[in-house]
Structure 1
C-alpha cells in the first residue's frame, strides 16, 4: 500500500512512457511493434502529462492565499491557453490509441477517444463559468472541480497505457474497466454481489451506498474521483508513469511472508488483513511508520472494507 512518488516534473521536463499503438500497423503485436508506434504513443503520453501538470498547477494557483476574484480571470485564461491545444491534439490522436486496443482484443475497453473528448468538453464547460461567481470561494470550488476531473480522466489514460505497455512487454493485455461516462460505472448499486461492490470501490472509489467514499490526504491525481486502480492499476500490480511509480498491491504480494516486494525489488513489511485496513484508513504500515502523504486515507465503512477486501483477495 506504500506509494513511492518519484517526482512531479514540470511540463517541459516530463519523462516519456512508450506504450505502442497501431496507427501505422493495426495488426502490430508485442513482438513486432516498431519504434514509430511507440514514438507516436509516447507523444500522446507527453501531451497527457502536460495537461495534468497544468491542471494541477491551475488548482494550486486558484487555491493560493494571494488569489483574488480580480485575479481569477488571468489565472484561468493562462491555463486555458496552455492546455487547449494539447487537449485538442489528444482528441485527434486518440483514434489510433483505440485502434491499438481494438486490435488486441480490447474493443469493449477502447475509451481513449471518449476520455479525450470528455476532457475537451469539460474544458469548454469550465471556460463558460470560470471566474463568473461573485465570491472567491465559489470560483475556487469550480476550478478545483475541473482540475480534479482532468486529473481523474488523465489517470484513466495512464492506467490504459500501462495495460498497453504490459502487453507489448509480453505480459498479456489485461484491459481494465472503462472510464465513467464511457461505459464504466458512475454510481448506482452495481449488483448485490460483495465482490462486485468491492471491485467498484477499488476501481472508482464508490461505496456500497452508491456515493464516492470520502478520503483525506493525497494530492494531485490522488485527490481525484477514482479508486485504488487510479494509482495502482486495475489489476493492482502497480503503475509506472512519468509522474510516479506505485507498488504491487495484489493480495499475495501484500501478505508475502518474505515481505512485500517494492517496485525497486527490495522487501518491505508483511501485511495482514487488519494491517491492510489500517494502511488504507489510517495511512500506517505494519512497522508503525506513516505512509507517504500521496496515499489517501479512506473513510471506509465496515461494509465497504469487507467488500473491498473480498475483491482484493481476487487480485493475483
Structure 2
C-alpha cells in the first residue's frame, strides 16, 4: 500500500509532464551545441571544459543540482519551457523563452508563483543569473542558484537566452 501511495504521489507531482531533465524527463540533453551559451545552458559546462560554479541559497536544491546535472536546463527544461523541480514538485522553475524574458508574455503572477516580473534586458538578466534578483531588484526564489562564470561565458549565455527573441 505504501508503495502504491508513493507511485501515485510521484505520478501526480508531474501530471503536467514538466518534471525537469532528470531520469523521469522526456527531454534528453543534446550532445552537440550551436554555441557556447547553449552548451552552458544545457550542461553547466563551458566550451573550455570548465564547469560553471554556483552558490545555492537552498542547500537541498544545491544537492539536487549536483546529483542531476548543473545546467540551467536541469530546472528550466531543454526547450526553456519551465519545469517542476524534483523532488520538490510544488516548485516550478519559470520559462526562459525569449517572450517570457523579453517579450509579450503576460508578466502577471501565475499559479506557480512566477511571472510577476518586468521585462528583462541584458543587464537585468545578468543580475538575475549572478545575483538572483529580478528586473526590479526583488530576490528570486532561493531554489535559483547564483551562478559564477567569466565575462565571456556569461555574455555567451545571455546571447543564447536572447537569441529567440527578435527585437
When the two structures are superposed, what TM-score results if normalisation uses the length of structure 2? Answer: 0.71
Task: List gaps (5 residues or longer) in structure 2.
Answer: none
1:311 to 152, 160, 165: 160
1:34-86 superposed Cα distances (whole Å, 9 cap, x missing partner): xxxxxxxxxxx9xxxxxxxxxxxxxxxxxxxxxxxxxxxxxxxxxxxxxxxxx
1:156 to 19, 22, 25: 22
Contact 1:201 1:207 in 2 (8 A): yes
Please tell me whether residue 264 in structure 1 is matched to residue 111 in structure 2: yes
Q: Which has the higher helix share?
A: 1
User: Residue 23 of structure 2 aligns to a residue in which SS?
Assistant: helix
Alignment root-mean-square deviation, CA: 3.2
Which entry has the higher C-alpha Rg, 1 or 2? 1
Match of 1:56 in 2: none
User: Residue 264 of structure 1 aligns to a residue in which SS?
Assistant: coil
Contact 2:21 2:73 in 1 (8 A): no
Match of 1:245 in 2: 92
Alpha-carbon distance between aligned partners in 2 of 1:306 and 1:11, rounded to the nearest angstrom: 43
1:204-234 superposed Cα distances (whole Å, 9 cap, x missing partner): 0002321111111142423443200000101
Match of 1:280 in 2: 129
User: Residue 211 of structure 1 aligns to a residue in which SS?
Assistant: coil
Contact 2:75 2:85 in 1 (8 A): no
1:159-209 superposed Cα distances (whole Å, 9 cap, x missing partner): 42xx5xxxxxxxxxxxx424xxxxx37xxxx7xxxx521111000000232
- Select the structure with the greater relative contact order (CA < 8 A; seq sep ≥ 6): 2
Shift of 1:308: 0.8
Q: After superposition, where does 1:94-113 map in structure 2 within 5 Å?
A: none
Relative to 1, partners in 2 of residues 1:261 and 1:221: Cα closer, same or farther, differing over 3 Å? Answer: farther
User: Residue 143 of structure 2 aligns to a residue in which SS?
Assistant: coil
Contact 2:130 2:148 in 1 (8 A): yes
Q: Which has the higher strand share?
A: 2
Task: List gaps (5 residues or longer) in structure 1.
Answer: 1-9, 21-44, 46-153, 164-175, 179-183
When the two structures are superposed, what TM-score results if normalisation uses the length of structure 1? Answer: 0.40
Relative to 1, partners in 2 of residues 1:258 and 1:313: Cα closer, same or farther, differing over 3 Å? Answer: closer
1:230 to 63, 71, 74: 74
